[in-house]
Structures are given as structure tokens and as C-alpha cells.
Structure 1
Amino acid sequence: MLMRGHNLFGHLDGYRPAPARTVAQNNQDIENPAFVSWYRQDQLIQNAILASVDPNLTATVVTASTSQAVWDALHTAYANKSQTRIFSLRDHLARLAKETLPVADYLHQVRSLCDELATAGAPVSNEELIVKILTGLRLKFREISAAIRARDSAIS
């Protein structure tokens, strides 16, 4: 991992916490140079993480104030492999329907849930994905759904 290679992982795991913002000098508080350096590095790490994740995930971490907070939020949201999380995601996927959403938004939600399931260690097969998408389209798209279901070969 790049963060370990550059000795920056301490920002993410809490091993390198933020120094005090100010230090006392000549009976007055001044800005701590160690904090300024740490903060600059932490912001660069935070920006690198945000630049490397899917733009749809940024809402999960955009309010985090440190790179450790970003890391923890992503870990909590997407690396939890518990059966409860997997059941919850599968249930959400099963209940998801196009309803009044534009097709692109519906497909995006399906894809996001499938990506989360894959991250949690329970990937959705291509066949399951096709059935889910077609089921969620409901009656308005029944002709397209019927044509896809009638195919002899699976679509990718």
C-alpha cells in the first residue's frame, strides 16, 4: 500500500495523532509548526483517498475532518463482512424497484448495492443481477424484459 511505503499509514490508524495546534512561547500561544506540517500531510492523504474512491462514495466521507476519519468511515461502511450487513444489502437489493426513478439512477443504485455486496465478500452473479434488474423494472418495461428473458444466450 502506498501509505505504508511512504510511512504515512500512521495518519490512518491513529499511530501518528495530530500534535497540539498551538504551543506556548514567551507567555503566549503560537501556532505549532509540528501541527502545521502534520495537518498539511493529513489533508494530502485525505485528498488522495477521496481521489481514489468512486465519486458515489464521497458522500460517505466528505464531512470527515481527518484522513483517519475518512479511513474509518470507509472501513465501517464498506469493509464490514458480517452476515448482518450482507443480509441487509441483499434485502435492500431485493426490494429495490425503478418506481419513479430514471432508468440510469435505478441501474446505478443496483450497481452500487452489488459493489457493496462484492466488497463484503458476497458478490452477485451476472445471472442474479440480470434477474434483479428485470424484476425491478416492473410492468412499464415488460416488453423489453420479456425479450431479454426469452433469449437463448445470457447477456453480460
Structure 2
Amino acid sequence: MSDSSSSISVSSIMVKNIAGMNLFLLVLRKYKLLGLITGSEPPPPQTISTSAGLSVVNPAFDLWYDRDQSVMIWLIFTLSEDLLTHTVGVESSRDMWLLLEQQFAGVSLTNIHQLRSRLQSITKGDSSMTTYLHSIKEIADGLADVGQPLSESDIVVSGGPVYSKPLS
């Protein structure tokens, strides 16, 4: 089971807190559960045949199912309430992840454009330098959270933020 070969697009899932979602993915990696949502760990057969030819419940499926349902519970707790209605009837963590990615794939592009626009139009105004720089950092962190981190050249090429009065 190799999770490193699968890519996860956190940017396409809208959650209460992107940092919380990143933490969620770290926890899944730590406990070797990421394959459940990436698809690299598909469910084993629900039943197996014994040497006597009887069909019995597959213990490997029971273990997989328990792990998958735990991930679903964790995932549900990271979602905002308005997204929960979209997940009704979903039976696996993988299916839930795919549904959420599909549902909100376009939203992240809008968010990226909004964040970049905010960065280009931000002004210091009457704000303290600390507040002003915190606002810029918040935007840069938001872009990084959705997989679009700013490089130094991004800020230099775009002219950086506009100062409405000299820095003091």
C-alpha cells in the first residue's frame, strides 16, 4: 500500500478550515489510512471461500471497513454543515472524497483569483505595519493552502502590494 503515488487535491474541497483539512491529511498519512481516500487501498472482497467451499465473511474486509468508516467519521467532522447534505448516502471515504472534489473543483479557482486580486490591491492605509503585513501573510497563506504558494518573484513581478503612504 503506497500512498505517495496518489495525489490529493485539497484545494478542491471546501471545508471550515483548510488548515484543519491539512491536519486531517497528515493524520491519515501518519496512521497509514490515506490509501482509503486516494484509492490505492481498495476494499477486499466481502466474502471468501473456505477449503470446504463455504462462503464466509472476509476478515480483511471487516478490518478495511472499520478503518474506512473511521476515516468517514473524521472527514465528516472536518466539513462545514452546509456540505454535509451533499454526502448523504455516500458509503465509503473514497466515494465521499471524490464527491467533494467533483462538487467543488471550480470553487477553488475562484478563491485563487480572489486571493491574488486582494494581494494586488491591498493597501496599508491607516493600518499599523504589523496589521498590514499580517494581512499580506494571511493572503499568502491562503494561496499556499490551496496549492498556489507565492514565490518571491510572484510578489516582485506583480509589483507587490500598493502602499498608500510611505512606510513608517
Identify the TM-score tier after normalising by the shorter chain.
Answer: 0.5 to 0.7
- Residues 5-35 of structure 1: CA deviation (Å, up to 9, x unaligned): 2111100011000000000012110000000
5+ residue gaps, structure 2, are 1-25, 119-168
TM-score normalised per structure 1: 0.53
Deviation per residue, 1:33-83 (Å, 9 max, x gap): 00000001000101110011101101111221100000011111123368x
Cα separation, 1, equivalents of 2:107 and 2:82: 20
* 1:24 aligned residue (31, 49, 72): 49
For structure 1, the 5+ residue unaligned runs are 87-116, 127-156
Among 18, 42, 63, the residue aligned to 2:89: 63
- Counterpart of 1:43 in structure 2 is 69
Per the TM alignment, residue 122 of structure 1 is displaced from its structure 2 partner at its CA by 3.6
SS at match of 1:38: helix
Kindly, what percent of the aligned residue pairs are identical?
25
Q: Which runs of 4+ in 1 moved over 3 A?
A: 79-82, 122-126
**Whole-Å Cα distance in 1 between the matches of residues 114 and 88 of structure 2?**
27
Q: Name the TM-score, length of structure 2 as normaliser.
A: 0.49
Structure 1 counterpart SS, 2:106:
coil
**Structure 2 partner of 1:10:** 35
Higher relative contact order (CA 8 A, sep 6+): 2
**Residue type at the aligned position of 1:42:** D
Q: What SS class does the counterpart of residue 123 from structure 1 fall into?
A: helix
Change (3 A) 1:34 1:58: same
Q: Which amino acid aligns with 2:48?
A: V
Answering whether residue 114 of structure 2 is matched by residue 123 of structure 1, we say: yes
Paired letter, 1:123: Q
Q: Give the aligned length.
A: 91
Q: Aligned partners of 1:45, 1:122: CA distance in 2, in Å?
A: 32
Paired residue type of 2:32: N
